[in-house]
């Protein structure tokens, strides 16, 4: 829904019923699960990612689109044709990328409003910053390419999934690019590093760990282009010491390299499917010509 900038939303007086559920503190359960046998609640090891499914060409009305599923996190991304930059009079040598990241109102545990809030606006900025270095902006001067990412279900690492999905959608839309961008998320809590955290683990990483060996906590989302070995975005929140931040760069890089192979395969599949379809169409045209004459 388009944001209505002239209307000021009054404060919402509704809140989630989960507040009244006794013993709703899930963070203790998550920590207990790990300390028993080094495996997380869903059976993964600390540095294991969830299984990913990607597909391009899902939205028929968009120039290019992609859909990604990372276990329960589902994101769909559409890219539209370049159009003139609205509200701009001067000429710009490079094209612009307009990115919008939105959670569907039913996607998270708590209801999200239709108007984008501050967190969604920040995610839109991060999405744009991750994709801009990879797009050949000089190929469409004075034009803007729209990228819309919608999270249908949020089970953690929605932003990283959206970045990977958006890069595939851009490639599917035939926007000239230097390389595909892939992204991964790392959650830090105390001295444990969760690769590809679920929504429970993410909320755990936003809280200060109890007095223990280390008081590091936070979430890091990093976007990487493996062909040129360039990190296009590194967004960290929380509080951690510098060694934790620098060591996570290597972990995220390895995770991104493995996702990159999947992205490439998906794109290849999309292209071969399109070529086969074209071949079939050419054959049908020829046969229909024979029938006509």
Partner 1 sequence: MAEILLSEAEKTFILHGVEEGFRCDGRMRLDYRPMEVETDVVSHASGSARLRLANTDILVGVKTEIDTPYPERPREGKIEFFVDCSANATPAFEGRGGEELGTEISNSLATAYQSSQTFDLTALCILPGQQCWKLYIDILILECGGNLFDAVSLAVKAALHNTRVPKVKGACLDGGTVDLQLSDDPYDCCRLDVSDAPCLVTLCKIGDHCVVDPTAEEETCSSGSVVIAITEKSLVTSVFKTGVGSFHPQTLIDILKVGQTIGLSVNKALRAALLEEEQQGRKKECFGFLK
Q: What is the 3-state secondary structure (H, E, C) of 55-108?
A: EECCCCCCCEEEEEEECCEEEEEEECCCEECCCCCCCCCCCEEEEEEEECCCCC
Choices 42-50, 133-141, 267-275, 282-290 (CB under 8 A): range interacting with partner 1: 133-141
Q: Work out which of 33, 49, 115, 230 binds partner 1, going by CB under 8 A.
A: 230
Among 30, 218, 263, 270, binds partner 1 (CB under 8 A): 218
Pull the structure tokens for residue 289: 């010509």
Tokens of 92: 């710009």
Interface residues for partner 1 in 243-272 (CB under 8 A)?
244-246, 249-250, 253
Query: Which of 48, 81, 100, 132 is close enough to bind partner 1 by CB under 8 A?
Result: 132
DSSP result, 15-58: --GGGGSTT---HHHHHHHHHHHS--TTS--TTPPPPEEEEE--
Tell me which DSSP letter residue 139 carries.
G
- Using CA atoms of 69, 259, 123, 77 in order, give the dihedral in degrees to the nearest 10: -50
Question: Stretches 26-34, 38-46, 55-63, 218-226: which one binds partner 1 (CB under 8 A)?
Answer: 218-226
Cα-based distances in Å from 246 to 80, 194, 230, 260: 37, 15, 15, 22
**Quick one: which of 136, 208, 275, 282 contacts partner 1 (CB under 8 A)?**
208
Query: Site for partner 1 (CB under 8 A): which residue of 54, 66, 126, 149?
Result: 126
Closest CA to 175 of 97, 281, 246: 97
233 near partner 1 (CB under 8 A)? yes
Q: How far is the CB of 181 from partner 1 (least distance, A)?
A: 9
- Cα–Cα distances in angstroms (integers) from residue 290 to residues 276, 281, 283, 286, 287, in the given order: 22, 15, 11, 7, 5
Q: Which is nearer to partner 1, 33 or 206 (CB)?
A: 206
Q: Where does this chain touch partner 1 (CB under 8 A) — which range of 14-22, 140-148, 162-170, 275-283?
A: 14-22
Q: Which is nearer to partner 1, 4 or 38 (CB)?
A: 4
Q: Does 242 bind partner 1 (CB under 8 A)?
A: yes
Residue 136 as a binder of partner 1 (CB under 8 A): the answer is no
Residue numbers at the binding site for partner 1 (CB under 8 A): 15-16, 19, 118, 121-122, 125-126, 129, 132-134, 137, 206-208, 215, 217-218, 220, 224-225, 228-242, 244-246, 249-250, 253
């Amino acid at each position: 829904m388009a944001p209505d900038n002239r209307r000021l939303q009054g404060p919402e007086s509704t809140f989630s019923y989960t507040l009244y559920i006794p013993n709703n503190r899930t963070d203790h359960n998550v920590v207990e699960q790990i300390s028993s046998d080094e495996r997380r609640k869903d059976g993964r090891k600390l540095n294991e990612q969830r299984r990913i499914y990607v597909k391009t060409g899902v939205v028929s009305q968009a120039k290019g689109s992609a859909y990604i599923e990372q276990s329960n996190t589902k994101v769909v991304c559409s890219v539209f044709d370049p159009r003139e930059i609205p509200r701009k009079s001067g000429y710009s040598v490079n094209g612009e990328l307009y990115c919008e990241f939105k959670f569907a109102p039913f996607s998270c545990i708590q209801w999200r409003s239709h108007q984008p809030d501050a967190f969604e606006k920040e995610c839109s900025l991060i999405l744009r910053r991750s994709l801009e270095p990879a797009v050949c902006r000089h190929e469409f001067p004075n034009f803007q390419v729209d990228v819309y990412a919608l999270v249908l279900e949020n089970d953690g690492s929605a932003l990283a999934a959206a970045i990977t999905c958006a890069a595939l959608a851009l490639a599917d839309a035939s926007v000239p690019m230097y390389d595909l961008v892939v992204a991964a998320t790392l959650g830090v809590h105390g001295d444990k590093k969760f690769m590809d955290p679920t929504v429970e683990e993410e909320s755990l990483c936003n809280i200060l760990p109890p007095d223990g060996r280390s008081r590091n906590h936070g979430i890091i989302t990093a976007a990487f282009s493996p062909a040129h070995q360039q990190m296009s975005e590194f967004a960290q929140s929380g509080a951690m010491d510098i060694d934790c931040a620098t060591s996570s760069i290597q972990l995220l890089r390895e995770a991104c390299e493995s996702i990159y192979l999947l992205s490439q395969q998906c794109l290849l599949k999309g292209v071969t499917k399109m070529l086969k379809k074209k071949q079939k169409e050419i054959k049908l045209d020829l046969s229909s010509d024979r029938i006509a004459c």
